[in-house]
Every structure is written in C-alpha cells, then in structure tokens.
Structure 1
Amino acid sequence: MKVLVPVKRVIDYNVKVRVKADGSGVDLANVKMSMNPFDEIAVEEAIRLREKGAATEIVAVSIGVKQSQETLRTALAMGADRAILIVATEDVHQDIEPLAVAKLLKAVIDEEQPELVLCGKQAIDNDMNATGQMLSALLGWSQATFASEVRIEDGNAVVTREVDGGLQTIKAKLPAIVSVDLRLNEPRYASLPNIMKAKKKPLEEKTPADYGVDVAPRLEVVSTTEPAERAAGIMVGSVDELIGKLKEAGAL
C-alpha cells in the first residue's frame, strides 16, 4: 500500500510570532521554520504502518516556496521513501490557500495512486483545518478526521477519533483521507545516518502549471494585529461575590 503524506513548512512552534510594524502580516525575517507538528505526526504514523507491514511506500509532498525542500528532507530523514515539491510561490509570506492545495494534491494523487493519504488535521500558522476535507470532496474518497489511532484491516482504515463526547471509532473504506491529531503518536527524531541518507533520496520538483492548477489567492488579508492582552484577574471573597461578578459580566 502506498501512503501519501502532505507536509507544510511553518514557523517553528517554539518561536514567538511577531507582527510586522505596518500590520501587513507576520514577520518571517530570520525566523526558524520547521515541519508543521501535525504533519510530523502523519509522517511518523505512515512509517509505523510500514513497519507493521501495512504500507510499502511513503511519498511526502510539500506545496509552497523552494525552501520547503528542507521540510521534505526532514520527512525523508524520518523514513519517507521519496518526495515531491511543488514550488507554488517565490514569496515566503504568501500562503497557498486550502482549495488550491487540495487541487494540487488531487493532481498528485491522480498520478501516484496511493491508497491512503495521511495529513495533519491543520497547520499551526493559519489553523484553517480545511485541506483534508476539501481533498476528500474533490476525490470522492471516504475520510476520517482527528485520528488518535489508525489501523488497516481488510481494505479499511479503522480510525479512533476524538469527539466532544469522548472517542468514536469508525471504519473508512480505502482509498481514504485520514487527518491526524496530537495524541496519535510521538514523532521520532531523525538520526544522523538517516539525515545523510535523506540527501540521496529522490526529491522531484514541480510547479502548479505542471498540473494545470491556478494558485492565485482568492482571499485578501486586510490587516494583522497582535491579540489583545489579557486583563488581570481579581480575587473574590465569597461564592456570593463570585456569582455577582459573573452576573455583571453577563456570564450568568
């Protein structure tokens, strides 16, 4: 079974994000970038499926700037077999929108014919949580979201997912799209020998024009601002005073 894993280059989750002085976007100058954490979990799960004998090949795909090669090399060092980079923009500040990403991934899937797509539930830079669902709709494939456990059984992906009421286990007929959540696994660190080997693994470079997809943005970011600072809390002396304060705030 071939598994395709989309990965995205984002600001490292340990970095404090800064807004540009003119409010036109996020400042990316001299900022550490890394693989989206949810995508890293998806790569790890694909490797574990291969170790269990359920998967035979893992293909990592990234869509964005040329520097996304670094992100793909990380996926290759973790254990992916080969990678495809679609250079969709030269501007590091331009984020390719979910629908355009889904259309490009569909074109890649039409060529590669994987049986399973494992993707992060969302990217930590825009938090849209939309690409996996859009890709499922474009392909007409079954999907399972927010996966905290994945098993392959008799041509199905058996997925345990987190819902408001607890855990729900569903069976999705392959081929399928599965978006993964934080509690699915703990991604491995790439060893130095594997990092060296990753440099020799195939990495194919494409453009949106190769797939006939228009990636021109349809949304315009009017302004970007820092979140408002939280107001300081107050201590109350009794339950009655607490209830009174909540009523004043309109919470009761």
Structure 2
Amino acid sequence: MLARSTIVHILERIFCAGVFVCIGIMRSSAASLSLPSAPYSYTVLDQDLPAALQEFGNNLNIRVNVSAEVKGRIRGRMPDLPPREFLDRLTNLYNLQWYYDGLVLYISAAHEAQSRLIVLNPISFDAFTSALDALNISDERYIVKPAPGEGLILASGPPRFVALVDQTLKGLVAEAQARRGPVAAERPQRESVLMLFRGSSSTVLRDGRPEGSPETPHHEGTLRETGPGQK
C-alpha cells in the first residue's frame, strides 16, 4: 500500500502535469453515491426511460448524464423502493450500467462497456490499485486486474470508469517520469499500446491514438485486427 505522504505527492504531481481536465474531477472521485434510505415513490403510466432517469436525479439533487444509447419506456407503476434499489432495479430491467464519479451519475447501456489492456510500465500493479483506492475510483462491480504479459492490466466497466482508470495511470506515469530527472527524460519514451474491445471487435491504440490514424507513426510489425480468413 502507498504511504499517505506518497499518495499526497502523487496527487500534487498529477495536478502539475495537467493530466486531469480540472480539479473538480480529482476531488469528485473521492466521493461515493450517498442516497437517502426513505422509499422513492415514483408513479408513471408511460414515460421515456432517459427522462425518468433525469427526473430521478433532479428529485435527489444529483447531476445525471444519460447516454444516448439508453433507450426504452417505463410503463406502469414502479414499487416504492429506496433510491439505490430503485436505480438498481431500472439497471437490471433495462440492461444498464451506472457509475458515480462524485460529481455526476453516469448511466450507460451495458453494450457500451469497455475492456482495455493497459501497459503499466513503469508503474507497479500494487501502486496503481492503491492510487485507485485512494481516489475512490475503484468499484467492486467493475474489473481492474493483472493480465497475461509483462506489465499489463485489464480494465473493464462503463466508459466513465475506464476513462478515470486511464487518467489515473497517466498521472502516475507523469509523476514517475518527473522523478527520473532530465537525463532520463532525454531517453526515447516507451510507446504506450492499448487494445480497446467493443463486443466482437477490437482496436489497437498507440500513445492514445487509434492505429492507422494520420497522426499515428507507422511501425513495422504492428499488431492489427485479424479479419475473417486471416492469421
């Protein structure tokens, strides 16, 4: 586990490196979704599902971001349930996923879930997961675990969760590079390679850019997605 002073130092470096878009993202990640225990009474005859989720957030004073892929309608009366159970019931009924980053409740369709193989070097797995825990980004419903191969992890979950995992790694890498000093900084930087899976398709990303894009340098022997009849 990381010492408290080390965690604080990492956070300071992340701020200085500008990896996170704003301070609010860092601070909001430390909060959890706290909902009242009193039953949430919701009666509807026929309503659009995204509208019902937005109204849920408005009634509880929570900002909600509903993906455009969330579709469906609620017909009939919903049972009176505590807000968390109400949210989970809709999640199960309509095949959704949700993730709260401390500022916004993100709700997406289950088919939008992402799985990424992420290169950890030079960060250790223990240091990485400790940082995720310290920021309260970790979520027992979603996966961050070692993957076969040297310095690889598998991160899987809704888009917002995977994005925060990726941002945390970038912050830790920036901190590690700052510690190496100017001599080490002059050495060629090791290429970051990610593989993004969506359903049966996969995309290779090098240094955060899809392989084959105009900004991505050409590499001999580059791993490419295998098509039908190819090996």
Q: TM-score, normalised by structure 1?
A: 0.23
Higher helix share: 2
Q: Which has the higher contact order (CA 8 A, sep 6+)?
A: 1
Higher strand share: 1
Q: TM-score, normalised by structure 2?
A: 0.24
